[in-house]
Amino acid sequence: MSKIQTIMTADDYGQQLVTFARQTADTLVKQGLTRSQIRNIFTEVRKIEALWNTDSKKARRRLEMLKPKLEYQTARAKAVRHLADVLSEAIDQIQGEDAEAFERFVELFEAILAYHRVLSPRR
């Protein structure tokens, strides 16, 4: 079982999520991912989250469409690659319209974003 799969399915207390998020953010900072690059992706996730509460079927489709958007961002900036890989694998762990799995996905991304902010040099 991969770390992301464990985080998405069996990490009841969030301890592994927090550790993994910090490691991921550290890698992203070292690879030069900027705050604006990560925020642009996070903004889309927040829009999907808002839609999930009203139309989970449309939100699920939009979440799946995030994967090609991540690939596009990676083509424009190689520093996005690791984040794209992590988020795409997490999206793959969400079965159908499973609200709990989607919430874990959002928690994972929020934790990565928070640690990225803390670990990034001030610019």
| Tens of pLDDT, residues 56-81 | 999 999 999 999 999 999 999 999 99
Reduce the DSSP state of residue 123 to 3 states and report it.
coil
pLDDT over 80 (residue 109): yes
Mean pLDDT of the chain: 95
Q: Which two tokens stand for residue 84?
A: 């794209």
Q: Which pLDDT belongs to residue 1?
A: 81
> Does residue 4 sit within a domain?
no
Q: What is the pTM of this model?
A: 0.95
Residue 9: inside a domain, yes or no? no
Identify whether 5 is part of a domain.
no
Rg (CA), the chain: 14
Q: Is residue 36 part of a domain?
A: yes
Q: In the chain, how many domains are there?
A: 1
* Cα separation, 69 vs 10, whole angstroms: 28
SS3 category, 1: coil
Residue 14 lies in a domain: no
Task: Establish if 38 belongs to a structural domain.
Answer: yes
Is residue 122 predicted with pLDDT exceeding 80? no
- Residue 1 in any domain: the answer is no
Q: Assess contact for 83 and 38: CB atoms under 8 A.
A: yes
CA distance to 29, 38, 60, per residue, from 121 (Å): 8, 15, 35
pLDDT digits (tens, 9 = 90+) for 7-55: 999 999 999 999 999 999 999 999 999 999 999 999 999 999 999 989 9
Q: Which domain holds residue 86?
A: 20-119
User: What is the C-alpha to C-alpha distance for residues 25 and 43, in angstroms, rounded to an integer?
Assistant: 17
The alpha carbon dihedral of 34, 37, 43, 44 has a sign of: negative
CA distance 111 to 72: 23
85 falls within a domain: yes
